[in-house]
Structure 1
Amino acid sequence: MFQSDGLTPQVLVPGDGGQVSPPTKAAQGRDPVKWLSIGQLRRTALEVVQASVFAKFADKRETMSGCPREFYRLPTTDRAVWVDYVADTGDGFEATFATARGLAGVEDDGTPIPVAGLETELKDRPHQAHLLVMGGDQVYPVASVDEYRERLLKVFGQASRGKVHGRPPVVALPGNHDWYDGLVAFRRVFCESWALNQRARQRSGMVDLPAVRDDMGGWGAFQSRSYFAVQLSPRWWLWGVDSQLEAAIDAEQLSYFAEAATHLDGAGIILCTATPCWMEADTGAVYEADEQTPLFTMLWFLERILGAGWRDRVRLILTGDSHHYAHYAPSEGIGPDLVTCGGGGAFLSGTHHLPDTLKPAWRPWDAGSDNTTYKLKHRYPSKDDSRRQTTRFRFLAAAYRNGVDFPLLAGVVHALIFLAVLLRGPVLITIVAVVIAVLFGAYAASGVKGHRPGWPRKFAMFGLTIGHAALHAGPAFLVAWLGFGWELGGHEPWVYAVTAVGMVVLGTVVFVSYLHLADGFGYHTLEAYSGLRIEDYKCHLRLRVTADQVEVYVIGMDKVTAPLTKVEAFPVKRFPEPRG
Structure 2
Amino acid sequence: MTDHQAPPIPVQPAAPPRPGSLDPRELGFTPQRPVPWLAPLLLISTGLRTLLAFLFGAYLDKRELQNSLPSEVTRQVGPDGDLWLDYVADLGDGFDATYSVAYLLSRPEVTTDGHRLPRGQMLLMGGDQVYPTASGEAYENRSKGPYQAALPQPPADGPQPVLYALPGNHDWYDGLTAFLRLFVRSRDDNVGGWRTPQSRSYFAVELPAGWWLFGLDSQAGSYLDDPQLRYFEEAAQRLTAESRVIIAVPEPAWLKAVDKPGEYDTIDYFIRTIVAPTGARVRLLLSGDLHHYARYTGPDRELVTCGGGGAYLYPTHKLPARIEVPPKDTLSRRASTSECYELAARYPEPGRSRRYGWGIFGRLPLRNPGFATLLGGLHTLLMLAMAGVVAPRSEAAAQRLFSIPLAAMLVVTLLGAVFFAKPPSASGKRHARHWILGLCHGFAHVGLAAAGTWIWLQLFFHAWPWPMSVVAAAVVYGPVAGLVASQLTALYLLVAGSFGVNLNELFAGQGIEDAKSFLRLHIAADGTLTGYPVAVDRICRRWQAEPDGAPDAAWLTPTQPLPLRLAEPPFTLR
TM, length-normalised to structure 2: 0.84
Cα distance in 1 between the residues matched to 2:208 and 2:379: 62
Tell me the percent identity.
Answer: 35
Q: 1:441 aligns with which of 410, 418, 435?
A: 418
Residues 220 and 251, structure 2, Cα contact 8 Å, conserved in 1: no
Task: Give the one of 320, 333, 348 matched to 1:355.
Answer: 320
1:163 is displaced (CA, Å) by 7.4
TM-superposed deviation, 1:437: 2.3
| One-letter amino acid of the counterpart of residue 176, structure 1 | N
Amino acid at match of 1:463: I
- For 2:8 and 2:73, the matched residues in 1 are separated by 21
1:56 partner SS: coil
Deviations 1:134-157 (A, max 9, x none): 111011111100001111111111
Instruction: Give the SS at the match of 1:230.
Output: strand
Q: Given that residues 173 and 227 in structure 1 are in contact (C-alpha distance below 8 angstroms), is that contact kept between their aligned partners in structure 2?
A: yes
Contact kept, 8 Å, 1:343 with 1:539, in 2: the verdict is yes
Q: What residue in structure 2 maps to residue 206 of structure 1?
A: none
Partner of 1:482: 455
Conserved? CA contact 1:89–1:345, under 8 Å: yes
The 2-side partners of 1:487 and 1:36 are apart by: 31
Cα distance in 2, alignment partners of residues 566 and 28 from structure 1: 32
2:266 matched residue in structure 1: 297
Alignment partner, residue 234 of structure 2: 259
- 1:464 equivalenced with 2:437 (yes/no): yes
Question: What is the CA–CA distance in structure 2 between the aligned matches of 1:42 and 1:368, rounded to whole Å?
Answer: 37
How many residue pairs are counted as aligned between the two chains? 518
2: CA distance between counterparts of 1:475 and 1:98?
42
Counterpart code for 1:89:
L
Distance of aligned partners of 1:488 and 1:67 in 2 relative to their CA distance in 1, 3 Å threshold: same
The Cα RMSD (Å) is 2.8
The answer to whether residue 270 in structure 2 is matched with residue 268 in structure 1 is no
Q: Give the counterpart of 2:198 among 223, 246, 257.
A: 223
Task: State the Cα distance separating 1:277 from its structure 2 match.
Answer: 0.5
Q: Measured at CA, do residues 505 and 571 of structure 1 come closer, stay the same or move farther in structure 2, by a change above 3 Å?
A: closer
Letter aligned with residue 335 of structure 1: D
Q: Give secondary structure in 2 for the equivalent of 1:551.
A: strand
Q: Cα 1:458–1:113, aligned 2, differ >3 Å: closer, same or farther?
A: closer
Counterpart-to-counterpart distance in 2, 1:24 and 1:35? 26
Report 1:170-569 matches (<5 A): 170-193=163-186, 214-265=189-240, 266-282=242-258, 290=261, 293-307=262-276, 313-330=281-298, 334-361=299-326, 364=330, 365-366=332-333, 370-391=337-358, 394-403=360-369, 405-424=370-389, 428-446=405-423, 449-451=426-428, 453=429, 457-483=430-456, 491=464, 496=473, 497-546=475-524, 547-561=526-540, 562-569=562-569
Offset of residue 535 of structure 1 = 0.7
2:115 is equivalent to residue 137 of structure 1 = no
Match of 2:529, SS state, is strand
Q: In structure 2, how many angstroms separate the alpha carbons of the residues matched to 1:384 and 1:232?
A: 38
Question: Alignment partner of 1:85: what SS?
Answer: strand
Could you state the TM-score of these two structures normalised by the residue count of structure 1?
0.83
- State the one-letter code of the partner of 1:232: L
Q: 1:162 to 1:184 in 2, by over 3 A?
A: closer
Distance 2:142 2:481 in 1: 36
Name structure 2 gaps, 5 residues minimum.
1-6, 391-399, 541-561
Shift of the alpha carbon at 1:514?
A: 1.9
Contact preservation (8 Å) 2:47, 2:425: no
Pairwise CA distance, 1:230: 0.4
Compute the displacement of 1:368 (Å): 9.5
Residue 169 (structure 1) aligned to one of 148, 162, 168? 162
Q: Would you say the 8 A contact 1:416–1:432 is kept in 2?
A: yes
Q: After the TM superposition, which residues 4-83 of structure 1 pair with which residues of structure 2 at under 5 Å, given as runs?
A: 14-16=10-12, 18-19=14-15, 22=19, 25=24, 27=29, 29-75=31-77, 77-83=79-85
Contact 1:329/1:336 (<8 A) preserved: yes
Residues 70 and 368 of structure 1, relative CA distance in 2, 3 Å threshold: closer
For residues 360 and 52 of structure 2, the distance between their equivalents in structure 1, rounded to whole angstroms, comes to 36
- CA distance in structure 1 between the aligned counterparts of 2:34 and 2:336, rounded to whole angstroms: 44
Query: Amino acid of the residue matched to residue 568 of structure 1?
Result: E
Report how far residue 235 of structure 1 moved: 0.8
Say whether the 8 Å CA contact 1:132–1:171 is kept in structure 2.
yes
How far is the alpha carbon of 1:274 from its aligned partner? Answer: 0.4
SS in 1 for 2:143: helix
Check whether the contact 1:248–1:297 (CA below 8 A) recurs between aligned residues.
Answer: yes
AA at the equivalent of 1:222: P
Shift, 1:503, TM fit: 1.7
CA displacement at 1:519 relative to structure 2: 1.2
SS in 2 for 1:114: strand
The Cα shift of 1:444 comes to 2.1
Checking the alignment, whether the CA contact within 8 Å between 2:250 and 2:287 is kept in structure 1 is yes
Q: State the 1:540 CA deviation.
A: 0.6
Q: Aligned partners of 1:38 and 1:145: how far apart in 2?
A: 24
1:555 positional shift: 0.6
Give 1:489 shift.
5.8
1:199 equivalent in structure 2: none
Shift of residue 222, structure 1, vs aligned partner: 1.0
- Note if contact 2:60-2:175 (Cα within 8 Å) is conserved in structure 1: no
Residue 118 of structure 1 pairs with residue 115 of structure 2: yes
**CA distance 1:274–1:480, change in 2 (3 Å):** same
Distance 1:104 1:369, change over 3 A: closer
On the 8 A contact 1:152/1:217 being kept in 2, the answer is no
State the Cα deviation string for residues 195-237 of structure 1 (Å, max 9, x = none): x7xxxxxxxxxxxxxxxx7121221111100000000114101
Deviation per residue, 1:117-174 (Å, 9 max, x gap):
323xx3xx3xx32211111101111110000111111111111136745642111111
Give the Å deviation of 1:245: 2.7
Q: What amino acid is the match of 2:275?
A: L
Deviation at 1:516, TM superposition (A): 2.1
Instruction: Answer yes or no: is the 8 Å Cα contact 1:447–1:523 preserved in 2.
Output: no
Determine the C-alpha separation between the residues in 2 that align with 1:487 and 1:560: 47
Whether the 8 Å CA contact 2:84–2:122 is kept in 1: the answer is yes
Structure 1, 487-496 or 548-557: larger mean CA deviation: 487-496
SS of 1:151 mapped into structure 2? helix
Distance 1:486 1:566 in 2: 58
1:103: Cα distance to partner? 0.7
The 1:448–1:66 alpha-carbon spacing in structure 2 relative to 1, beyond 3 Å, is closer
For residues 501 and 121 of structure 2, what CA distance do their matches in structure 1 show?
41
In 2, the alpha carbon distance for the partners of 1:171 and 1:346 equals 19
Q: Deviations over 1:422-478 (max 9, x none)?
A: 111799222212222222222222299445x4xxx4421221222111221111111
User: For 1:435 and 1:571, how far apart are their aligned partners in 2?
Assistant: 51
Alignment gaps of 5+ in structure 1: 1-10, 107-111, 197-212, 284-288, 575-580
Task: Report which stretch shifted further, 519-528 or 561-570.
Answer: 561-570
1:259–1:136 CA distance, 2 compared to 1 (3 A): same
Instruction: Give the SS at the match of 1:307.
Output: helix
Task: Go from structure 1 to structure 2 and tell me whether the alpha carbon gap of 1:138 and 1:60 turns closer, same or farther (over 3 Å shift).
Answer: same
User: What letter matches 2:365 in structure 1?
Assistant: A
